[in-house]
Amino acid sequence: MFERHKDSKAEAGDSPQQGGSATSSASNSTLISSARTTAMIGPTINIKGDITGDENLVIEGKVEGKVDLGSKDVTIGPTGRVRANINASVIKIEGEVHGDMQGEEKVVISKTGKVQGNIVAPRVTLEDGAKFKGSIDMDPAGTVMSDSPVTSLKMAGKNTHDAGKAGPGDNTASVKSG
């Protein structure tokens, strides 16, 4: 019964006057939802409150509160202005952030990024031109290996930034740039 109806629509070219099939409409929405892996907060949107979810997020607008996406990625676009603590797998900053960040994989501050807050992540990248004020903890587990590059981190910080004081065996570097 359904097959004959479907075949006649295919032959007729699925014209809008004949109406859409519920089956194709349902499969289209399934395609759209499975293809969409990133949500976006546009440049004219202002949000005050907590943001949680299970998809990647791009913030181009203003957010105040908390952003907790766990195993997903957060990108603060060039027009993004965030006053919130951020927890995500990968955090990329191209705009402004005032708050602490915890990256499960890494945190990247691009050349246009401005950050004021503390960063905890196993890998942190500060691109040339990035503005950063806060502390960086690249050993969130708290275990310091005897051959860890703590000394080179401190020296690199002193050569390129006004580094804060870090004690022996401490790989937390305070960096002030810009």
What is the tens place of the pLDDT at every residue in 155-166? 344 434 444 444
AA letter at 75: T
Rounded average pLDDT over 157-177: 44
Supply the pTM of this predicted model. Answer: 0.63
Half-sphere exposure in the Cβ direction for 172 (13 Å, CA)? 12
Q: What is the pLDDT of residue 14?
A: 46
Q: Distance (Å, rounded) from C-alpha 49 to C-alpha 85?
A: 11
pLDDT digits (tens, 9 = 90+) for 101-117: 999 999 999 999 999 99
Q: Distance (Å, rounded) from C-alpha 88 to C-alpha 57?
A: 10
- pLDDT grade for 141, boundaries at 50, 70 and 90: confident
pLDDT digits (tens, 9 = 90+) for 7-46: 444 444 444 444 444 444 444 444 444 445 899 999 999 9
Mean pLDDT of the chain: 75
E strands, the chain, are: 38-41, 46-52, 56-59, 62-68, 73-76, 81-93, 96-98, 101-109, 114-116, 119-120, 123-126, 131-137, 162-163, 172-177
Query: Is a pLDDT exceeding 50 seen at residue 54?
Result: yes
- pLDDT grade for 139, boundaries at 50, 70 and 90: confident
Q: What is the pLDDT of residue 144?
A: 52
Q: How far is CA 107 from CA 17, 47, 102, in A?
A: 52, 23, 8
